[in-house]
Amino acid sequence: GREDSEPSADLPPLEQLRQEAAGCTRCPLHCHATQTVFGEGPGDAEIMFVGEQPGDTEDLAGRPFIGPAGQVFDEAVAAARIDRSQVYVTNAVKHFKYERRGKRRIHMRPDAGEVAHCRWWVAKEIEIIWPRIVVALGATAYLSLTGESRPIAEVRGMPIPMQDNRILLVTTHPSAILRMPDPDLKARSLAAFRSDLADVKR
Ligand code: URA
């Protein structure tokens, strides 16, 4: 037997990275979150989606985009005829940041410092998977991937060439759509989101 050896040494690089990330203490967000929510999907995916950070549901389950925002995401992905099991889905920040109000945990936007710390993991995920297309879901993902703060409306929907032939596509964050109070605006944003995802497939 090899009971002394590092068990992770035999794992594929993405699984090794996942194990390392499980113990991440690079920023204080790990103190109050249940667990690291790492990316999910094949190590050779052509398309990688980057969200903001896990929500309440994701924090408890340890998987990205499975709560209300995940439902909007799944529906748009399915409508675009993308097979979610074939794409890699991750977040710019891998621990849930929240504020406690009674029994509820209210989502708080990660700040630029937290995004910068967690960018280390996102960069590793990209390095290993090397997707053809990276889709930034919202401004936090855009910040993580480019280091720039820009209003999503300015960059949404047009493919941005990155180094080494990768393409960055920016779209709305599904949670932002869910939060829109105006039903007309909400419907239009959802249609634009779906159309952006249909473009990803093309
Ligand atoms: N919102 C995100 O950005 N990511 C998730 O995983 C869930 C909700």
Q: How far is CA 134 from CA 1, 24, 117, 163, in A?
A: 42, 24, 20, 12
How many Å lie between the centroid of ligand 1 and the Cα of residue 90?
A: 8
Res 156 pLDDT > 70: yes
Query: Domain 11-201 - what CATH class?
Result: alpha beta
Of all atoms in ligand 1, which is nearest to the CA of residue 138? Answer: 3
Residue among 143, 147, 145, 160 nearest 199 (CA)? 160
Q: 43-100, pLDDT tens digit by residue? A: 999 999 999 999 999 999 999 999 999 999 999 999 999 999 999 999 999 999 999 9
- Check residue 44 and report its DSSP letter: T
Where do the structural domains in the chain lie, given as residue ranges? 11-201
Does the ipTM surpass 0.90? yes
Rounded to the nearest angstrom, the distance between the alpha carbon of 197 and the centre of ligand 1 is 16
Q: Do the beta carbons of residue 53 and residue 95 sit within 8 Å?
A: yes
